[in-house]
Structure 1
Amino acid sequence: MSFTLKSSAFADGSAIPSKYTRLGENIAPRLEWAGAPDATRSFALIVEDPDAPNGIFSHWGVFNIPGDRNALPESSDTAPNGGLRFCDNDFGNGRYDGPQPPKGHGLHHYHFKLAALDVPALSMPASAGIQAMWREAQKHMIAEASLTGTFEQR
């Protein structure tokens, strides 16, 4: 079985509903995964927009997701979360911030990337930022699953 990531909020390659954007309720969509390697001890997740005007823009970073989990519920960044750690995103917030591309900038792609890690936890401050967390996660990555959503502000 391959390692997969999906959401009940949107299908891979399709539009992210406004509810999950900064123009709507700005809440994290539910995410589910399956097929993680047996050696998985924890997970790390990032959400990035490579279509941002100034290069890759990081919207969400979560780490120390227990290896026995297979989902993050909707609003998992604000609900009781079982010890999850959240990195500061490029908006400067330690939580999920959904799509908000510049008006008229065209279609943006939001890449949700989930890494299965061979360590139970990453030891780093959340203030280090999403890119630093992801670089550390990649040192321990044994598998990666991804999901892409799109959004355009007209």
Structure 2
Amino acid sequence: MMNSIEDRISSYLQWNRPVTVVVDDHRLPVIGLMVNSQIYIPLKAYFQALNQKLVAQGFNVSGDYLGDQFEFTLGTKTLRINGISFPLDQAPFGSNQEIYVSAAFVAVLTRHTYEWAESDRLILFLPLDDANFEVSIAEFPPFSVLPKQFLHKDLGGDGHIPTLFWANAPKETKSFAVMLGDEHPIAAGYSYWNILGLPASATGVAAKDDLSRLTQRSYRGVAPMQSSGYHEYLFYIFALDEAKVATTGALNTIDDAKRVFHGHILDVGIYPTFAML
């Protein structure tokens, strides 16, 4: 019984401790919050780091981020960008001192991807639009909610494989690796799709392609945990300097891949999307 209680306390502390937030190499002076594994970002501090302004009038907040007009209301689950609504996983909350929003909120609004570093309890935001190595997907735009057909069949989806394209890879590239990571703290970077050893001439992958020889883990659709908010799914395209990088065992997470590919990564293309139950 004692072990069970200790395990529960340990789990609670794991998912309910402060979080360090870094955006564009700026460590925010205000900590982020983690509540039951969901991360909340201090929006005012985040915008100050990006030299952007917010206007808060009571419960209504608005602003202009690099030409995009946005607005939202505290306590509601809708973010409007240029008049288009994006459904939020959690309602923003706060006071005159600070406003807290979900990680997905700031990712969508500022077009930043994020990665979770459990060992440092740090969430790192990087701008997608600064990337030279470009990735695109035919079926849905970046920072959108993943269409149902790409979810796992156990969750009512179809497990369809999306159509990926990439461009502007480094000229020295000898091969590509494709992976799909779940950056939610619960998932710890678990990879849903591993393709290794694509030739340097490759510019994309599609469902019609016969990649069985190169596929270490087949794509069957993502499966976010219920009631855990949005999971950010990042499609990774690793441009590598060797035709075949030696691997031992399965690459279960994106961190596994980065360790195995260490010293061989020329560039990484990323494409973000979100899903939740």
Letter in 1 for 2:169: A
TM (norm. structure 2) is: 0.47
Question: 1:91 matched to which residue of 2?
Answer: none
Structure having greater relative contact order (Cα 8 Å, sep ≥ 6): 1
SS at match of 1:19: helix
Alignment counterpart, residue 5 of structure 1, candidates 121, 127, 135: 135
Q: Could you tell me whether the CA contact under 8 Å between 2:144 and 2:273 is conserved in 1?
A: yes
SS at match of 2:244: coil
Letter in 1 for 2:263: K
Alignment counterpart, residue 120 of structure 1, candidates 243, 246, 253: 243
Alignment of 1:13-92 (within 5 A): 13-22=143-152, 23=155, 24-73=157-206, 75=207, 79-81=209-211, 83-86=213-216
Compare the two structures and name the one with the higher strand fraction: 2
Closer, same or farther in 2 for the Cα pair 1:30/1:18, shift >3 Å? same
Closer, same or farther in 2 for the Cα pair 1:119/1:54, shift >3 Å? closer
Q: Could you tell me whether the CA contact under 8 Å between 1:107 and 1:151 is conserved in 2?
A: yes
Closer, same or farther in 2 for the Cα pair 1:80/1:101, shift >3 Å? same
Structure 1: distance between partners of 2:200 and 2:213: 12
Number of corresponding residues? 142
Larger radius of gyration: 2
5+ residue gaps, structure 2, are: 1-130
Question: 2:13 matched to which residue of 1?
Answer: none
Q: Could you tell me whether the CA contact under 8 Å between 1:124 and 1:133 is conserved in 2?
A: no
C-alpha deviation, 1:54, in angstroms: 5.0
Letter in 1 for 2:133: F
Closer, same or farther in 2 for the Cα pair 1:12/1:104, shift >3 Å? same
Compare the two structures and name the one with the higher helix fraction: 2
TM (norm. structure 1) is: 0.81
2:222 is the counterpart of 1:99? yes
Q: Could you tell me whether the CA contact under 8 Å between 2:190 and 2:252 is conserved in 1?
A: no
2:270 is the counterpart of 1:146? yes
Structure 1: distance between partners of 2:227 and 2:179: 25
Letter in 1 for 2:219: Y
5+ residue gaps, structure 1, are: 87-93
Displaced runs of 4 or more, over 4 A: none
Closer, same or farther in 2 for the Cα pair 1:26/1:116, shift >3 Å? same
